[in-house]
Structure 1
């Protein structure tokens, strides 16, 4: 049978050499006109997607045969690009700005390697072809030149201004935030053009910030009417017929444990002591029962990829009829679930397990704060209120400690970064910024979810079924080389050619409690690749886990819904060969989209957090603070306040001497006075400037310092 796979298989053979279209036809014995048309379409599509390449001589071959790599280009604010290859295991490629040839941030491109990387350095290349444009609309600021109108993108990684024409419908004013749709993309010698499709308003106007943020990062605010209609139709209560097909766990004692504000409750836990250890149940909302493959809800969820949590607002992956109601594991109501029930010994090893479709009924909707209070001092009021559940919480804590110790023993990396929590009023203005506390309640849920994800991933892998794995690859040589330069300053080094999580864990243990802990931890984190979703199990470096997937949050993450769909097919009587083949073909697309949407969500959440911190601090301009130096650079040093707010003390504002930066000790030292600023030093600073739009905060060192 002639299809894309058979053509690619032919080209992957060692004996293959580039062939013309007619020569390829002869190889496959195509003589019929209809077959010729079909063959031509397949070859054309493969070329368009970059799976195969046509040379100047008109011959077809694989990109790797021609020193070409395809993938996603990430463009830096400084104007250069880094290609992240589609093929797992290939290293990144550096692309100078003048060699981007019109490629924009997050485009899928083909790059020709022009210079190989040596001594751990990335190879260098040139964009020769843009396979797919990822950006069709941009948010930016409308500006009027003497002869031209243009929109300057808010995202500094979008390095090309978009030239526009005056519009009768959208009368933008100088400085307005607008949404522009690109009609002509930039090329080597051609500017980008577009038209304004929406005037969002002025920065600072009510509601404008959220619209700008959503449009800037390509987030979807509203659900289409047909999706909402389908949500209302499928959100029906559990019926007796469906219950009869499932394991009845309604009598099991189980709880959800989440934050106070959470409304999409997709995981519940149960526990009991056994003669060999513990029986842990992780019960996850069966979203796949309501959201069928390729229905309107599914297509919308695929586009969104994930729920986005914007401090006091949520852009859910699924409408609230599902996310907050029929799929949410609310207490004292029957809910459909997929349960992973594990027998775990006293060393934290899973000795037996089963994965079943179930019907459950939650006893209590617990909060992290209440569980933490119970585990800390077990107050009489909470003890009386939750009765026999209290004993379960202490048992959960016991098992949690065992599981965490087991993961640490195999090399799991345990970063301890201070997280921020912003409290806002009804208008979204920040009232307080504080350090988010992470107690045993949060940790035990994390431990239980990780264990369930590992069990499900290995289970499906052993059965040879298609899975969307959560992959965290080990750092490459260049990243390790750069990291070692920093580590050497503090007497550490990543040794050996075989990089393992255990090596990093040793360094994290050594710096625990030291002034440089946060900086080195951050540098280690930045040396690692971003986790992504792939159809093959390449392991999770940070968790030191060979098989890992996301199974526990199908209400808010699309990859989890895909894993549930695979499990559901398996549990409903087995997966047919046809179904398996269909899913295998889709997994790569599912993974690429989910990884991309996750990155967009993370960027939006991080940007909003910075803006809210800046908004909060703007009321304190002129005030003095005690702070700790968190990192030192050639241009100054960053300081962190107790509430996690960070800002820059620029070197130009330290007027008592001329300061020199040492990249050997990561310090600033005065040329004449010998005065030194190092990571961990306590200083007194004054807040002098806040840029809310950019989320930037500037301090100056007080003179008496």
Structure 2
């Protein structure tokens, strides 16, 4: 890390960037003074100078002023030059929140719903995330109550990522993560810094009301205009491990890809079956392969047609041993992260893209879920007849979704007749699985996803809708079935595992959803506490003119799926038991569940289940579930951040142009608008609309109190792209005019 140099000249230059009068930077902060008092409980006033090595008369005068201010705010008492902490004063404790709009709030403990507003003057003292004590006071000028920060209890920002800005010869860092503050850089001469460089900065002086924070550059990330800079920033911002240690790479290189004689003797050999992988065009790791054949099963004197489905999943646990360097490395990531133009894998490339990937015409070790399925089998019968075993396969084709649909529609065939038959059988099986999905009442959203397209130079060229066809759904239904069977198999054998759970929607969410739907003429009689209720509602509104908006609203009313050792079922999929089993290359919980299943298989025949040594304890699994749930959220936020960055870059070419859009969300700070023609979303701050408004959360509208003009979810409006801040992922819009079908959501 670079050392802090003489900064006097830089600080003097920076005064032009401060809204406050100059203050002596050598006067110790309130936190430092309080820390000294708390160590000794009582301090003689004259001792302050020696504690902080101060001899300058001006600085000593500054200390006197600070002590008087601290006494006035109730932090300390001064009695006959003896200074004590004032423990009688009751402060409000909480965490600082900076919003994207630049406003500041104090978030109190979890039991307090209302955040307290803090003025820009107070926010000069802190960074986002700092923990502070505040007190309530009356503003002498406005006579209104306000809150002031009297002590920063805990600083949360020691380093940050920011954009370099050179203003009047002073090198500044503007934080990427929406902190409304500039950091003065004191070691700019150590680097060849330029405007728009992205750098890591270590904070060397925290902010105060009079002084801007100081920092030193510790690492240059790149230029803001570089290809994939958004990924690098997301990786740094969300603290994501992006490179593998030498030990992890060395361990992966030792993995042996050839199938051994021991493997052949101890595993089921399925290399003669025409397994196929079906993935996106740009997929590089293939962790699942499927094979389906039609068979006849005797049922008394008659035979009935059924399908034998084999879902083969890469046996990652064979190569990544529990508690090994590779295993610990995988847990540090929790999941692979998929950016639009790059993948940060959970495992080194030798494993994820080669040895553990079910490449065509390569012998590979797998864990198989085998099922018997017919239209007459109940879900219970399917689960009871499923079995798991270790096997060897040799995938015959690496197919894409479009190619599979070509085969199904007779527009394209593969060179392998058996592969074509496999696809045909999968198509027939799919009809059965979809019928079962409908019968159990699983929710089936059909929300269009966007994809970002790039030109040959790696720059964003367009945003389009991601095409989804029946081939996607064939694979999805096979994986869903294998996942739920894995959960039932583990539960039946009285082992614990990491479940994938999805709780039912909260009563408040259902209430708010019903209120809004009722306001636009859609009255719901049922309680919406079962997945089939949601599915029936989706079917009921399928022809609604604003179906896409309403469908998104239904999705937002649901809880978020997560990992847990304690099963509560999966509401959205309508499964009593569900887990993740089918993606051990890119999800750590799947790898854990593979080890548990293989532990059960190795214990087959043991009459006393209590004597079987479990590969994980309950506490182990609980910790892993919590960690991987957090890492999954981190991965989603990182990829969303990078996508928003790219969308801002794309939107730049349309700045100041006007488009029709739909209001897709309404919050008390403004409205979000979806511009379908260019596939982006933008935000209209409330002050762009009015400074006097009423926000109705239940009916999802903002109403101007002066004109009575209402802006409600689903309204069409003409907007202009007003301003774009790429590094914070914000696209600001302004209203050009309202469109004709406002307040008419009903089809």
What TM-score bracket applies, with the shorter chain setting the length? 0.7 to 0.9
Structure 2 unaligned segments of length 5 or more: list them: 1-94, 119-125, 132-153, 296-303, 740-747
Matched, 1:303 2:332: yes
What is the match of residue 85 of structure 2?
A: none
Tell me the CA shift for residue 209 of structure 1.
2.9
TM-score, scaled relative to structure 1: 0.73
Distance in 2 (CA, whole Å) between partners of 1:668 and 1:310 is 35
Per the alignment, residue 342 of structure 1 pairs with 371
Indicate which of 445, 449, 465 corresponds to 1:419.
449
- Residue 624 to residue 172, structure 1, CA distance change in 2 (3 Å): closer
Query: Residues of 1 paired with 2:265 and 2:693: CA distance?
Result: 75
Residue 456 (str. 1) matches residue 486 (str. 2): yes
Instruction: Identify the match of residue 609 of structure 1 among 615, 627, 643.
Output: 643
Distance 1:194 1:276 in 2: 72
Instruction: Tell me if the contact between 2:345 and 2:586 (Cα under 8 Å) persists in the aligned partners.
Output: yes
1:354 matched to which residue of 2? Answer: 387
Superposition deviation, residue 255 in structure 1 = 0.6
Kindly indicate whether the alpha-carbon contact (under 8 Å) linking 1:235 and 1:322 is maintained by their aligned counterparts in 2: no
The TM-score, its normalising length taken from structure 2, stands at 0.69
Cα separation, partners in 2 of 1:521 and 1:332, compared to 1, 3 Å: same
Kindly indicate whether the alpha-carbon contact (under 8 Å) linking 1:73 and 1:83 is maintained by their aligned counterparts in 2: no
Q: Tell me the distance in 1 between the aligned counterparts of 2:556 and 2:199.
A: 33
- Pick which of 553-562 and 584-593 moved more: 584-593
Instruction: Check the 8 A contact 2:363/2:392 in 1, yes or no.
Output: yes
1:531 to 547, 561, 564: 561
Mapped contact 1:250–1:334 kept (Cα < 8 A): yes
**Matched residues in 2 for 1:694 and 1:172: separation?**
21
Aligned partners of 2:500 and 2:579 also within 8 Å: yes
* Kept after mapping to 2: 8 A contact 1:419/1:644: no
- Alignment-derived partner of residue 56 in structure 1: none
Greater gyration radius: 2
* Residues 477 and 228 (structure 1), Cα distance of their counterparts in 2 relative to 1, 3 Å cut: same
Matches within 5 A, 1:591-670: 591-623=625-657, 625=659, 627-631=661-665, 635-636=670-671, 638-648=673-683, 666=700
**What CA distance in whole angstroms lies between the structure 2 residues aligned with 1:79 and 1:704?**
31
* Closer/same/farther in 2, CA of residues 682 and 75 from structure 1, 3 Å limit: closer
Matched residue, 2:531: 501
Deviation at 1:218, TM superposition (A): 1.3
Find the partner of 2:465 among 417, 435, 453. 435
> Quick check: 1:320 aligned with 2:349?
yes
Taking a change above 3 Å as real, the CA distance of residues 553 and 194 of structure 1, as seen in their structure-2 partners, is: farther
Whole-Å separation in 2 of the counterparts to 1:565 and 1:73? 43
| Conservation of the 8 A alpha-carbon contact between 1:75 and 1:81 | no
Q: Does 1:155 align with 2:177?
A: yes
Look up the match of 1:32: none
Deviations 1:484-528 (Å, cap 9, x if unpaired)?
A: 333332344666778222232232222223233233332332233
1:140 aligns with 2:140: no
Give the total of aligned pairs. 597
Residue in structure 2 matching 1:288, options 310, 314, 317: 317
Q: Give yes or no for contact 2:515–2:699 (8 Å, CA) kept in 1.
A: no
Measure how far apart 1:213 and its partner are: 1.6
Gap runs ≥5 in structure 1: 1-71, 85-90, 110-131
Could you tell me how far apart the structure 2 residues matched to 1:281 and 1:668 are? Answer: 54
User: Residues 144 and 696 (structure 1 numbering): CA distance in 2 closer, same or farther, change over 3 Å?
Assistant: closer
d(CA) in 2 for partners of 1:653, 1:92: 33
Shift of 1:282: 0.6
Aligned partners of 2:664, 2:217: CA distance in 1, in Å? Answer: 42
What secondary structure, in the 3-state scheme, does the structure 1 residue paired with 2:579 have?
coil
Separation in structure 1 between the aligned mates of residue 689 and residue 99 of structure 2, nearest angstrom:
29
Q: Matches of 2:281 and 2:372 in 1, distance apart?
A: 30
* Contact map agreement 2:286 2:359 (CA 8 A) in 1: yes
Deviation at 1:414? 1.5
Per-residue deviation at 1:149? 10
Q: Hey, what does 1:585 align to over in structure 2?
A: 619
Distance, in Å, in 2 between the alignment partners of 1:284 and 1:93 is 47
User: What SS class does the counterpart of residue 257 from structure 1 fall into?
Assistant: strand
- CA drift of 1:230 comes to 0.8
CA–CA distance in 2 between the matches of 1:477 and 1:79?
31
**1:179-216 CA deviation, whole Å, 9 max, x = no partner?**
24689999xxxx99986532324422455333212101
Asked whether the 8 Å contact 2:450–2:466 carries over to 1, the reply is: yes
Partner of 2:544: 514
